[in-house]
Amino acid sequence: MTRFVVLLRGVNVGAHNRISMPDLRSLLERLGCADVVTYLQSGNAVVGWSGSAEALRGAVTGALAAELGLPVQVLVRTSAQLDAVVAGNPFDVDDPTRLHVAFLSGPPPPVDADALLPDRVAPGPEVLYVAYAGGSQGSRAAKLLSGKQLGVIASARNWRTVLALQELARGRSA
């Protein structure tokens, strides 16, 4: 059974797309996931699954819509893929909350990094790394990641969350 990280896009932000983590765990278990662990209230889960990442993504997306009325996008990564994301981080930052990884549904499109200064942006394997100079609030990079300009689905997590998910995917407590 492979360990997967399940990332829900845009849940529990404001009043829309609300889901409790016990409800998410229960839904994942009903789908056949094992050893389900959620992290924070922002739609992060680590599960054991016998099938493919694509099958898991489709099952979770469908169940969220059908059972809970939540039409949210879902991204899935294997533990090994998450390890590669962590190893590929090009930025060294003092504050891990200012470094974000935008997980993407496909290869990252070309991004004009100079247009996003003072923030720094670098592509990785189906991710964009973003080092915010002063936080994401009002940032051009944050606006890029939240909109449709990328042409792919993006769901960002701060570096602290990425590292915690990596530990959970390795079977350790975060």
* Cα pseudo-dihedral 43, 49, 53, 56, rounded to 10: -60
pLDDT tens-digit series, residues 112-145:
999 999 999 999 989 999 999 988 888 999 988 8
Strand, helix or coil for residue 120: strand
pLDDT tens-digit series, residues 40-63:
988 999 999 999 999 999 999 999
How many Å separate Cα 2 from the centre of its chain? Answer: 18
Question: Is the predicted pLDDT of residue 13 greater than 80, yes or no?
Answer: no
pLDDT at 41: 84
pLDDT at 15: 67
Structure tokens at 160: 């602290």
Domains of the chain and CATH, by start:
2-79 (3.30.70.1280), 82-169 (no CATH)
Quote the CA–CA distance of 63 and 132 in Å, as a whole number: 35
Question: Is the predicted pLDDT of residue 100 greater than 90, yes or no?
Answer: yes
pLDDT at 173: 64
Please answer whether residues 74 and 57 qualify as being in contact, where contact means their C-beta atoms are separated by less than 8 angstroms: yes
* 136 phi-psi bin (left φ>0, alpha ψ -120 to 50, beta other): alpha
Quote the CA–CA distance of 101 and 112 in Å, as a whole number: 17
> pTM for this structure?
0.94
Per-chain mean pLDDT for the chain: 93
Quote the CA–CA distance of 127 and 105 in Å, as a whole number: 9
Q: What percent of the chain has pLDDT over 90?
A: 80
How many Å separate Cα 10 from the centre of its chain? Answer: 10
Which of 14-28, 61-75, 152-166 shows the lowest per-residue confidence on average (mean pLDDT)?
14-28
pLDDT at 11: 81
Which of 5-19, 51-65, 80-94 shows the lowest per-residue confidence on average (mean pLDDT)?
5-19
Structure tokens at 158: 């701060």
Neighbours of 97 (CB within 10 A): 13
